[in-house]
Chain A
Amino acid sequence: MPHKTIGTALLLAGGLVLSSTSAFAADPTMLGNTCAGCHGTNGSSVGPATPSIAGLTEDTIVEAMKAYKSGERPSTIMGRIAKGYTDEEFKAMGQFFSKQKMVIYPQSTDAAKAKKGAKLHDKYCEKCHEDGGTVDDEGTSILAGQWMPYLTFSMEDFNAGTREMPKKMKRKLEKMLDKEGQAGLDSLINFYGSQAK
């Protein structure tokens, strides 16, 4: 177990003080632990399809949960689950998962496609999905090491228009698909899936 900073400990101790006097409803660990059965212990999924959510920013988690709750973002099961929580609880979940480091588990990828995907990433995606898609910056999520079936589902939803893309992404994706077709998308997904860290 990594050592906590005094800052974190203080913050949590603050919560504990509250808990003895009033209801401290949204405990990050309590809420985060309920997700592990599908998203993996501390949010790192062992696959094959449920995405890892460890290491995402608090905002990314909160926005995703809100979008699931409202139905704005399509899902099989997450919409049903997100409806069970308040905004305050989303924030607590976000706090929990933003403090976890994503553990990447190996998946089988096509080396040639991954190589091609790396080039396509640099050309079309790197500007927003920085450092090879390893960092979640302003809601870009972490793509590197993410489970490929999940990435495929996400792109299917984006392309079908059931999930809204940011304008910039839409433009870049259209350009990429015009030039490379579905094979380009497949290469990109193999690239992200092949990244070990």
Chain B
Amino acid sequence: MSQITRRDFIKASAASVAAGGLIGVPHIAKAAGSAGKVVVVGGGAGGAIAAKYIRMMDSSIEVTLIEKNPDYHTCFLSNEVLSGERTLDSIRFTYEGLKGHGVKVVQAEATGIDADKKVVKTSAGDFPYDRAVVSPGVSLKYDTIEGYDEAAAEKVPHAWKAGSQTAILRKQLEEMKDGGLVVIAAPPNPFRCPPGPYERASQIAHYLKNNKPKSKILIMDAKGKFSKQGLFTQGWKDLYGYGTDNSIIEWRPVSEEGKATGVNAATRTLISGELDTETKADVLNVIPAQTAGKIAFAAGLTDDSGWCPVNKKTFESTLVGDVHVIGDASIATKMPKSGYSANSQGKVCATAVVAALQGKDMITPSYVNTCYSIVGEDYGISVAAVYRLSEDGKTIAGVKGAGGLTPTTATAAARKREVTYAYSWFKNITHDMFG
């Protein structure tokens, strides 16, 4: 709570001037101006944090959050819903807590941004802003997989946005016969939650091992390697017989026909690779390639890559002034598209937005990512990184010699502790967002 409000700032400025301080006149002039209006689009890991922290830093700023859904299901720990370790309701959160911080929450779909008039256009009307923060997450590129679309996803779920999709996949796993084949099609880079498909395979393996031990999981991958690969592989060997004939999990990289190209939803058949290899599954989970959330395109925030270029210090779009983009949709160079990245970016962005509205300079940013995966019972692994802005301001780069993975030599006791810390991560990050 050591952020100062504008009132304190002016008071302090006066005191400091009286004490021979050197605060520039333009700063005072700007600081004495309007408190400002901020419109945040998207109430997820980035947007909820930006909205709340702007209010925490300066309660005179009016913050409106535009969110399509009445509640939010976290992607984090949704894989434990698939294994039956937790309920879908345990990853559901409402926006009541944000209202308590004075955030005006509007349930509506943002459809565009008029940057000249400085208005966010929504299904519930126009919302004027001094600064807008867009945190739209990802949209799924159904068209990269023939035969796959939103309708097909009812039968062949992606479950890459938690909620009803998670419920469908869980139900299918429950209904599958022992001896069935689960196929997970993992997407090409870059995508939301890089370790996610592999934690998912782990959690489903955990469920099958205890309930349907004759069943198998086949990961068909558009890539040749993946996040935390060494640790996942080690965990799969320790828990699921990986590498043996009886392994529950098998992984096929892009070089072995792994890349999904098509789906026959009616027969739950995946088509992959250059030879159009057909794999008939009992449960088919297809996670398509991804791009920035729809509103980012409508608002002109994306470049040719399909993601949003931003000033790395403030997360202000380099394409549309006074509009900031955070989370999965932003190009944050070395930071992965993760929940903790979005959380960290939300706070850096909140600081920048408050500074801009108060007529101050943005301070030096600091960013962190921390990500846990639960491979099985008492078996947690993690990756962490501390990031700084490079001298030229172009890269958010990990500090050398810091961060990294759980050591492969970690003891069983340490892995067990990492599970309790993973749950703590979940409780604290969701409380940080919605509490």
Report A's interface with B, CB cutoff 8 A: 1-2, 4, 6, 8-10, 12-14, 16-17, 19-20, 23-31, 33-42, 45-50, 76-77, 80-85, 89, 95-96, 99-100, 147, 149, 153, 156
Contact = CB atoms under 8 A, between A and B. Distances in A.
B399 A84 contact: yes
Contact of B425 (A1, A20, A26, A38): A38
A10 B16 contact: yes
Contacts of B15: 6, 9-10, 13
Contacts of B417: 49, 76, 153
Interface in B402-435: 402-404, 406, 410, 413-414, 417-418, 420-421, 423-425, 427-429, 431-432, 435
Of B4, B24, B418, most A-chain CB atoms within 10 Å: B4
Bin the interface of chain B by size: 35 or more
B180 to A, nearest CB: 35
A83 B403 contact: yes
Contact of A100 (B1, B406, B435): B1
Interface stretch (B246-254, B269-277, B323-331, B359-367): B359-367
A149 B427 CA distance: 15
Contact of B402 (A50, A83, A95): A83
A96 B1 CA distance: 8
Interface of B: 1-5, 8-9, 11-13, 15-16, 19, 21-24, 27, 53, 56-57, 59, 340, 343-344, 347-348, 351, 360-361, 363-368, 370, 382, 384-386, 398-399, 401-404, 406, 410, 413-414, 417-418, 420-421, 423-425, 427-429, 431-432, 435
A100 B56 CA distance: 14
A26 B2 CA distance: 13
A60 to B, nearest CB: 18
Interface of A is mostly: helix
A1 B1 CA distance: 7
A96 B435 contact: no
6 contacts: A26-B364, A29-B3, A36-B343, A38-B429, A39-B428, A50-B421
Contacts of A41: 428, 431-432, 435
Interface centre among B347, B382, B418, B420 (most CB of A within 10 A): B420
Given A9-B15, A17-B16, A37-B344, A49 B429 contact: no
Given A37-B340, A38-B429, A31 B366 contact: yes
Nearest to B5: A1
A41 B424 CA distance: 13
Contacts of B21: 13-14, 17
Given A2-B1, A33-B53, A47-B424, A77 B22 contact: no
Contact of B424 (A19, A33, A50, A81): A50
Given A39-B428, A96-B2, A4 B8 contact: yes
Given A17-B16, A77-B384, 7 more contacts: A17-B21, A20-B360, A36-B432, A46-B431, A77-B421, A81-B384, A83-B386
